[in-house]
Copies of this chain bind each other. A is one copy, B any other.
């Protein structure tokens, strides 16, 4: 599908006919869904269905296409899980993992751009990712805790270490535990309402020390970079 020589029509791949390396990267970002698929895999390999769950609206055929394209570009690789599972998952290669700073930069820029609508669907991965980017490092230094997040099909746990907030998939355990859908939890975490105000909410469950919990969510704000 890639003709060696000329490209008479700018048809499919390589939308931007440029030698610029940033433009080269844009060929990936520019294609609908593609970068979102990468985002879904940033915390670790996933199965087809779980990727799809994080990308509502994508059709199976398009997801297949994207996965194929990413594999051809050396960004994603299929992995056959060992042992008893023996199911196939999709994993980011080193090249794919290297795109992490791009997502982070995108997040930071996204917050200063007007027009962001937080009522739209938020995937578990995207919520966890945004928290890593938005944490107030100065305020976080000195605080030391672990928190778990039960987001439905996916759960994570994170630790505050030296001002950074690091997250990985895993059981929702820790000093604090939040449970609920990403869309329900996002306004809890990013405020401006207080944690106590969510008491009794059906969509959100919290367990742990309320004072510590409040200190924790105060670290995250969409105002700061």
List A residues 124-138 near B (Cβ within 8 Å).
126, 129-130
Which of A101-109, A144-152, A198-206 contacts the other chain?
A101-109
Which of A78-86, A110-118, A163-171 contacts the other chain?
A110-118
Within 8 Å of chain B (Cβ to Cβ): is A29? yes
Within 8 Å of chain B (Cβ to Cβ): is A210? no
List A residues 27-48 near B (Cβ within 8 Å).
28-33, 35-36, 39
Task: Please determine whether B30 and A73 come into contact, CB atoms closer than 8 angstroms.
Answer: no
| C-alpha gap A116/B22 in the complex (Å) | 10
Which of A13-21, A154-162, A172-180, A211-219 contacts the other chain?
A13-21
Interface size on A, residues (CB 8 A): 64
| Proximity string of chain A (1-27) to chain B, C-beta cutoff 8 Å, 1 when within and 0 when not | 111010000100001111111111110
Task: Please determine whether B108 and A101 come into contact, CB atoms closer than 8 angstroms.
Answer: yes
Counted per complex, copies of this chain come to 2
Task: Please determine whether A114 and B126 come into contact, CB atoms closer than 8 angstroms.
Answer: no
| C-alpha gap A1/B119 in the complex (Å) | 12
Q: A32-B16, A36-B16 are in contact. Are A25 and B101 (CB under 8 A)?
A: no
Q: A18-B121, A29-B30 are in contact. Are A114 and B74 (CB under 8 A)?
A: yes
Task: Please determine whether B126 and A112 come into contact, CB atoms closer than 8 angstroms.
Answer: no
Q: Chain B residues near A110: list those with CB within 8 A.
A: 20-25
Q: Chain B residues near A126: list those with CB within 8 A.
A: 18-20, 22-23
Complex partner residue of A17 from B57, B98, B104, B115, CB under 8 angstroms: B57
Interface residues of A (CB under 8 A from B): 1-3, 5, 10, 15-26, 28-33, 35-36, 39, 56-57, 73-75, 94-95, 98-99, 101-123, 126, 129-130, 183, 186, 222
Can you give 11 contacting A-B residue pairs, CB < 8 Å?
A17-B56, A17-B121, A19-B121, A21-B110, A21-B222, A22-B110, A23-B36, A74-B113, A102-B105, A102-B106, A105-B105
